[in-house]
Amino acid sequence: MDRKPPLCTLCGSRPSIYHRRYSGERLCARCFAKTLRERVERTIARFKMFEYDSRIAVAVSGGKDSLNLL
């Protein structure tokens, strides 16, 4: 029997790929990336980590994890 993954709780149109246990949300890839980006942006703004024209260096080893970061 084929079971389809539950739909994303935010958009309701795509299959979920991630279950956020603390909130109960199930997110598709697009909504996961969007909410993660928004959370990072909020954290950067909250703690005033960078100014608008700051230069930022990102170390990339070439492995799958660091390439995914970019």
> Which pLDDT belongs to residue 1?
63
The residue-averaged pLDDT of 18-45 equals 95
Q: What is the DSSP string of 33-53?
A: HHHHHHHHHHHHHHTT---TT
List the chain domain ranges: 1-64
The span from the CA of 28 to the CA of 39, in Å, is: 16
Q: Please name the residues in contact with 30: beta carbons below 8 A apart, sequence gap of 6 or more.
A: 11, 14
- Residue 13 pLDDT grade (very low, low, confident, very high; cuts 50, 70, 90): very high
pTM: 0.75
Contact 8, 28 (CB under 8 A): yes
The span from the CA of 56 to the CA of 70, in Å, is: 12
> Which pLDDT belongs to residue 26?
97
